[in-house]
Structure 1
Amino acid sequence: MSLKDAATRVRENAHAPYSGFKVGAALRAASGAIYVGCNVENIAYPEGTCAEAGAIAAMVAAGETELTEVHVIADSPMPVTPCGGCRQKLAEFGVGTVRVTMGTTAGQEQVMTLAELLPGAFGAAHMGDR
């Protein structure tokens, strides 16, 4: 299954009763396995979970900590980018050259790298010898 297909399928499971804005995300780990996540809204904003964060959590829960490719999809007029928090979360587990495809349900796509999405990402090097 492709990342696009996986993201498209999981998007249908999103819990978005308040915004109606369903998002699906799929990522490929270094092992080649695909992990998926969808947004999960909560009436007590901002207690929801983004699709990208869900996919990352699934990957980590499976014992993996490196992602190599990401696909995010939503029913929007233009490709939806990960929010700032999710950009940082993706950067925690992927190098700057990781390809992130952002798509719409109508088929429009935009591709960027993690470094393009989050230039100057905060990383372990910023922590020094702790």
Structure 2
Amino acid sequence: MAGFEIIDISGDAGIKAYGNTLEEAFINSAMGMYSLITDLEGIHEKRAIVVAVESHSPEGLLVSWLNELIFHFDTYGFIGKSVRIGSLKNNRIDAVLSGEDFDLERHERRLLIKAATYHAVRIENISGQWEIDVIFDI
């Protein structure tokens, strides 16, 4: 099974991410979101950022995590190519993302994502396989 799928939603965009672990599903949710922004094949691992986020619930953590990555893209132009999660427990995530600054001359621009939303957000373990659904405002 692929790490994520794009969900076609009228007026918005969404992803369904999968993982054998919750960490892998969180990583795939980030990569799915980045794939909505650009073609990941064109991204290189030139620099790294550290991201730490905490929230009140697993769903809140997912939305906050993705919104933090959107913040780094919108504010600093950073787009990730890979994610390494150091810790994901007690509604807190600590991760290192490797990637580069988005450059319109080199990178295809797909969607402009405003935010990850709580609408229909889902994190579920089904027979040992983690699944995440998340919708983005565009």
| TM-score normalized by the length of structure 2 | 0.26
Comparing both chains, which one has the higher relative contact order based on Cα–Cα distances under 8 Å and sequence gaps of 6 or more? Answer: 2
Higher share of residues assigned strand: 2
| TM-score normalized by the length of structure 1 | 0.28
